[in-house]
Amino acid sequence: MEEKTLNKRGPAPKGRQLRYLLVVDPDVNERFTMSLILQRFGYTVCAAGSVREGIEFQCVAPPDAIFIETGAAGADLMSQLRDDARFRSAPVVLVADQAGREQQEQARRGGLAGLLGKPLDPAEVFLIIQKVVERGLRRNIRIATALPASLEDGAVVQEGYVTVLSNYGMFFRTLEPRVPDDRVRVSFPVWGREVTVDAVVLYAVSFEDGPFREPGMGMKFVNIGPEYSGLIRAYIHEHILEGLSLPHAYGDSPAGVA
């Protein structure tokens, strides 16, 4: 078989970069819920009960975005936040009990980056993150995971792990990534069932790209059937909602998967 090189390597997805987010909410339960959702999207989170506490706590790095509940966002404290060089450029998302017109107008006038309503909808949280943190248009939710997987290309079988999973693709961790446009077959377990899908390599990452980059390849599913698609979607939704008192807004639970 002809040897291939990684001379067509593409950029790694932005979600693989380390991001820090600050969550400010006086309600400990709401603070926990927001923080856990963000963590399950792959972000490092600092949480505080007030803006003052957030400033004093000092995140390990300047936050890439700040999520503030309206009860914690007094005008004087917001002014302090903007006076601190570490937080000055971070986009601010207001979290309100009811995201009505008045609060939307307040967000627009105040230069806020976005507005989230309560109860939290993880899908809306994900879209806000894409807008204010990643500056992208990604609409499909992806999660960090660790599913053992095997890749088949003819008679060649390669073992690795699925470390990022979405409804439409995955990141396959391996020390020997393929080149973009390679078509392969990948198998991995979901809730004890073997999922086998065809995929095409979109980009590859090796250790040459830097010490903090995970080696492997991003792949897009092709010719995936509705049974496997529904199983993956339900797995992602359950992963996000596990342990949270939120409605299952994403469709079937594990028991509802055929």
Q: Which pLDDT score is estimated for 201?
A: 96
Q: Which pLDDT score is estimated for 180?
A: 95
Q: Which pLDDT score is estimated for 197?
A: 95
The whole-number average pLDDT for the span 114-133 is 88
In CATH terms, the fold of domain 18-132 is Rossmann fold (3.40.50)
Residue keyed to tokens 């790694």? 12
How far apart CA 185 and CA 163 sit, in angstroms, is 17
CATH superfamily membership of 142-241: predicted glycosyltransferase like domains (2.40.10.220)
How far apart CA 53 and CA 41 sit, in angstroms, is 24
Q: Which pLDDT score is estimated for 101?
A: 52
The whole-number average pLDDT for the span 91-97 is 86
Residue 1 has pLDDT above 60, yes or no: no
Query: C-alpha 82: how far from its chain's center?
Result: 27
For the chain, the maximum distance between any two Cα atoms, rounded to a whole number of angstroms, is 67
Roughly how many angstroms between the first and final C-alpha of the chain, as a whole number? 40
Cβ atoms 9, 48 nearer than 8 A: no
Q: Which pLDDT score is estimated for 136?
A: 66
Tell me the residue length of the chain: 258
The pairing of beta strand 20-24 with beta strand 216-222: unpaired
Mean pLDDT of the chain: 80
Q: Which pLDDT score is estimated for 115?
A: 86
Residue keyed to tokens 């600092």? 46
Residue 164 has pLDDT above 50, yes or no: yes
Q: Which pLDDT score is estimated for 122?
A: 87
| Residue 219: its H or E element | strand 216-222
Residue 69, C-beta contacts closer than 8 angstroms, at least 6 positions apart: 24, 25, 26, 27, 30, 31, 95, 96
Q: What is the CB neighbour count within 10 angstroms for residue 161?
A: 17
Q: Which pLDDT score is estimated for 108?
A: 58
How far apart CA 124 and CA 53 sit, in angstroms, is 26
Residue 116 has pLDDT above 80, yes or no: yes
Residue 17, C-beta contacts closer than 8 angstroms, at least 6 positions apart: none
Q: Which pLDDT score is estimated for 216?
A: 95
Short-list 216, 206, 211, CA closest to 160: 216
Cβ atoms 201, 181 nearer than 8 A: yes
Q: What is the pLDDT of residues 53-74, one digit of tens each?
A: 888 776 667 889 999 887 776 6
Q: What is the pLDDT of residues 34-54, one digit of tens each?
A: 999 999 888 899 999 988 888
- Classified as helix, coil or strand, 129 is helix
How far apart CA 150 and CA 46 sit, in angstroms, is 36
Q: Which pLDDT score is estimated for 252?
A: 43
How far apart CA 232 and CA 246 sit, in angstroms, is 20
Cβ atoms 81, 75 nearer than 8 A: no
Q: Which pLDDT score is estimated for 17?
A: 59
- Strand order of the β-sheet with 114-117 is 44-48, 20-24, 65-69, 92-96, 114-117
Higher pLDDT, 210 or 95: 95
Q: Which pLDDT score is estimated for 121?
A: 87
CA distances from 116 to 41, 64, 122 (A): 16, 17, 10
The whole-number average pLDDT for the span 134-152 is 84
Q: Which pLDDT score is estimated for 7?
A: 31
Domain coordinates in residue numbering, the chain = 18-132, 142-241
The whole-number average pLDDT for the span 214-238 is 92
Q: 16: pLDDT confidence band, cut at 50, 70 and 90? A: very low
Q: Which pLDDT score is estimated for 89?
A: 84
Q: Which pLDDT score is estimated for 111?
A: 64
